[in-house]
Amino acid sequence: MTIRIPFVDLNSQHQPIQTQLQKAIYGVLEQGDFILGQALADFEVAFATASGAAYGVGVASGTDAIALGLQACNIGANDEVILPANTFIATLIGVLRAGAKPVLVDCDPQTALIDLEAATKAITPQTKAIIPVHLYGQMVSPQKLLDFANTYQLLIFEDAAQAHLAERDGYRAGSVGIAAAFSFYPSKNLGAFGDGGMLLTRDPDVAQKMARLRNYGASQKYFHTESGTNSRLDTLQAAVLLEKLPYLPQWNCDRLTIAQQYDSELAPLSSAGIISMQNQSSTGHVYHLYVIRVDDSCPLERQQIQDKLTADGIQTGIHYPIPCHLQPAFTYLGYQQGDFPQAEKLAKQILSLPMYPGLSNSQIKEVVAAIAGATSTNLNAENSSSVPIGSTVA
């Protein structure tokens, strides 16, 4: 099947700056500082500054940013950490790798963000932190988070893997809690040419401990004060990210414009059960993903719509099809079907549409037209089949 509209198109992003990217890579090759080099130090400062944080520590992946970051915040054995059930599995794995106990809660069906009321009911004397996942590019309300954390004396550890430079309530993603984890997976709003991650923090002690943990627990060469690991953001990747960072605000703006057109084009389909996820952040939503819900009132199931788009050469995704508590590897945590009804319902309804800087107006219209065509064809078929033989329709 020929792909006419890809889910993500990195070439359209990289081609205009190809010369700059090549120059950045060659600069590292000439310098030869491939591990913990100058480009990494420069990028750590630049990304932290852009995000409103004091310190940045680059690591090998977003998952490591969570796992090591929690350890750097002194979260571990016997500590409970609250997180949403409808996040990417890396959030859960990061908590487990830190040695803490993950406590899952449900989400808001309109935004897919963590339900703080549900989180309130999950607090115990062992609860030490909450991980708000800034899902799809939209932040959990910082003001509500801060009120929540202050009320229950909890640490806020942000999972901002999908929210580079997102804003809400006067805060940027990465500046709300004690620390925040970011991923630079290639398809992220700010993506590397491979895996990569970073921890941002306002606390110098957390930053220093994180720097040790990523480098075998060493405070200086061959002197190990912690049981750390090898998880360093490569200098080559940092050089690429540093070159791309100045373009990120415009790329995010382009994503917002695309999302606004999707919103407008899809609005007439709400009566057919095609519902866009709510944007409660105005221009602060950076739309890593554009997600719709195929509601129960839709004449087609989600899979039928996805199959129709695939047949038309339009790629889509599902983020995420199985909530964390229903993943086979984590049944030992004791959760069951029905524990988080909103997350489970969303998993059956959500569909991610093509989203990337460079997606054209005509392509957006084509995606929406394919969805509209599928739903209207089915509606017409149902209406026709409901008319008794021999009758007429006015």
> 53 and 140, same structural domain?
yes
For residue 371, tell me if it sits in a domain: yes
For residue 4, tell me if it sits in a domain: no
Q: pLDDT by residue (tens digit) across 63-74? A: 999 999 999 999
What is the chain's mean pLDDT, rounded? 95
> 110 and 236, same structural domain?
yes
What is the pLDDT averaged over residues 243-271?
A: 98
> What is the domain-level CATH number for residue 285?
3.90.1150.10
> 91 and 227, same structural domain?
yes
> 257 and 207, same structural domain?
no
Residues of the chain above pLDDT 70, percent? 95
- Is 152:96 a contact under the CB 8 Å cutoff? no
Among residues 192, 223, 246, the one where a domain terminates is 246
pLDDT at 376: 81
Angstrom distance (rounded) from CA 108 to CA 115: 5
CA angle 253, 257, 262 (to 5 degrees): 145
- Is 227:213 a contact under the CB 8 Å cutoff? no
Residue 391 has pLDDT above 80, yes or no: no
User: DSSP characters for 143-159?
Assistant: HHHHHHHHHHT-EEEEE
329 exposure class (CB count in 10 Å sphere: 0-12, 13-18, 19+):
exposed
The token pair that represents 238 in the structure block: 């940092």
For residue 241, tell me if it sits in a domain: yes
> 258 and 189, same structural domain?
no
Q: Record the pTM.
A: 0.95
Residue 381 has pLDDT above 60, yes or no: no
Angstrom distance (rounded) from CA 85 to CA 105: 6
For residue 97, tell me if it sits in a domain: yes
For residue 389, tell me if it sits in a domain: no
Which amino acid makes up residue 330?
F
- Is 211:225 a contact under the CB 8 Å cutoff? no
> 220 and 118, same structural domain?
yes
> 153 and 36, same structural domain?
yes
User: DSSP characters for 2-43?
Assistant: --SB-S--HHHHHGGGHHHHHHHHHHHHHH---SS-HHHHHH
How many whole angstroms from its chain centre is CA 222?
37
Q: pLDDT by residue (tens digit) across 101-155? A: 999 999 999 999 999 999 999 999 999 999 999 999 999 999 999 999 999 999 9
For residue 117, tell me if it sits in a domain: yes
Q: What kind and span of H or E run contains 256? A: helix 248-266
Among residues 194, 228, 246, the one where a domain terminates is 246
Residue 343 has pLDDT above 60, yes or no: yes
For residue 318, tell me if it sits in a domain: yes
**188 has catalytic annotation:** yes
> 101 and 29, same structural domain?
yes
Confidence of residue 378 (pLDDT cuts 50, 70, 90): low
- Is 234:61 a contact under the CB 8 Å cutoff? no
> 225 and 166, same structural domain?
yes
> What is the domain-level CATH number for residue 230?
3.40.640.10
Among residues 229, 246, 263, the one where a domain terminates is 246
> 265 and 241, same structural domain?
no
Can you list the alpha helix ranges (DSSP code H) found in 139-216? 142-152, 204-213
For residue 392, tell me if it sits in a domain: no
Alpha carbon separation from 138 to 46, 132, 350 (Å, rounded): 22, 11, 16
Confidence of residue 377 (pLDDT cuts 50, 70, 90): low
Altogether, the residues listed in the chain come to a count of 394
Selected catalytic residue, list 121, 128, 188, 209: 188
Q: What is the tally of structural domains in the chain? A: 2
Which residue range is the domain that position 344 belongs to?
A: 248-379
> 238 and 287, same structural domain?
no
Residue 383 has pLDDT above 70, yes or no: no
pLDDT at 393: 27
> 257 and 211, same structural domain?
no
What is the pLDDT averaged over residues 93-107?
A: 98
* Helix count and strand count (H, E) for the chain: 13, 14
